[in-house]
Amino acid sequence: MPDRSFLTWPFFEDRHRAFAEKLDAWAAVNVADIDHHDTDAACRTLVARLGKDGWLKHTAPSVDGSERIDVRTLALARETLARHGGLADFAFAMQGLGAGPISLFGNDAQKAAWLPKTRAGTAIAAFALTEAPSGSDVANITTTATRDGDGYVIDGEKYWISNGGIADLYVVFARTGEAPGARGLSAFIVSADNPGLSVTERIDVIAPHPLGRLRFDKCRVGADALLGKAGDGFKIAMSTLDVFRTTVGAAALGFARRAFDEAVQRASTRKMFGGALADLQMVQAHIADMALEIDAAALLIYRAAWTKDMGAARVSREAAMAKLYATEAAQRVIDTAVQIHGGDGVRSGHPVEMLYRDIRALRIYEGASDIQKLVIARAVLSSSER
């Protein structure tokens, strides 16, 4: 039985507690029966189900502005879905991240064109930032968007794009050249049916989800595709990541909680040395370490989410701390859970074996752990008197 005591923490309101309970019950029915043999189909089914039953409404604001993004709700959703299945979390999260630049920086027409569809699960979204030569180094992306009459022509390649191949819309970051480096980038909405866009490779990874390489070849978009102002692209990417990085930590927390529950169950029932595994002090030390890391991760995640929800303009430091700590801690918790399971822990298809594969990418995507350390250190140094 997962620990629910954290829901009484002062970060949450009654609506958060009700949301977490309801989604947990929903996921127990709607995630469990997904057929994972065809990853694309599984992801499409999950997006459709999450949309039909209203959960995706939380990934983007409503067009009339009456429903806004609440980071605590996003984090609770990811934590809950991740406990039930990595792909369910992925399907939910990508609707938020993919549409994130439109939610945060889109004008009324852009929001009206796309957000009702991503919120209903009838359009799948993708965030196309990363490139092969400039993974972590966003300021050096090489895809270009050249002014052409009223619109722009995009040329270049994007790599490691989640939902690449099944998305209906891509938010694409490209160099428009207002200034060198970070100040010369812009963000565009590109519909998947644009003839200048093709998916040139599908990528297999240890925890399967839709992932691809995109090619832009004289990909023409209108002026209405530009998000915010030309030159704002870096800020748009970073501000979007400020919101969603906290939720990556939350997904890691969900994986860790599931691994912890599996480990406690195993330690309590497995007979060894004349008693249960849990009677052994060395196993108890493992359980104490896991419980501590889970609570510490949760505190950092919900501190960051609460701070953003309370209206903070920048939460780069808090979000980076939450993502860094929660993903690294979850890796340790899951590794310990595998250890407590012995041979069963590495058996293909065992829940802790799947978690062991699920967690690894979270220490890399949306800013690798090393990048989060950079962000934290820069925030600390820039606010100290030097």
CB of 276 to ligand COS, least distance (A): 42
CB of 312 to ligand COS, least distance (A): 11
CB of 258 to ligand COS, least distance (A): 23
Contacting ligand COS within 240-279 (CB under 6 A): 241-242
Q: Binding string, 300-329, against ligand COS, x = CB under 6 A?
A: --------------x-x-------------
Chosen residue from 13, 21, 25, 136 binding ligand COS by CB under 6 A: 136
Q: What is the dihedral of CA 2, 163, 321, 142, to 10 degrees?
A: 170
Q: Look up residue 111 and give its amino acid.
A: K
Chosen residue from 63, 104, 139, 291 binding ligand COS by CB under 6 A: 139
Active-site residue, selected from the candidate residues 293, 328, 366, 385: 366
CB of 378 to ligand COS, least distance (A): 6
Contacting ligand COS within 104-133 (CB under 6 A): 127, 129-130
Q: Binding string, 356-375, against ligand COS, x = CB under 6 A?
A: ---------xxx---x--xx
Quick one: which segment of 79-87, 149-157, 238-246, 324-332 binds ligand COS (CB under 6 A)?
A: 238-246
Count of residues engaged in binding ligand COS, rule: CB under 6 A: 22
Quick one: which segment of 41-49, 198-206, 237-245, 301-309 binds ligand COS (CB under 6 A)?
A: 237-245
CB of 364 to ligand COS, least distance (A): 8
CB of 234 to ligand COS, least distance (A): 5
Q: Does 98 bind ligand COS (CB under 6 A)?
A: no
Contacting ligand COS within 159-198 (CB under 6 A): 182-183
Q: Does 332 bind ligand COS (CB under 6 A)?
A: no
Kindly state the tokens that stand for 109.
Answer: 């027409």
Quick check: is 366 catalytic? yes
Catalytic residues, by residue number, are 366
Q: Which residues bind ligand COS (CB under 6 A)?
A: 127, 129-130, 136, 138-139, 182-183, 234-235, 238-239, 241-242, 314, 316, 365-367, 371, 374-375
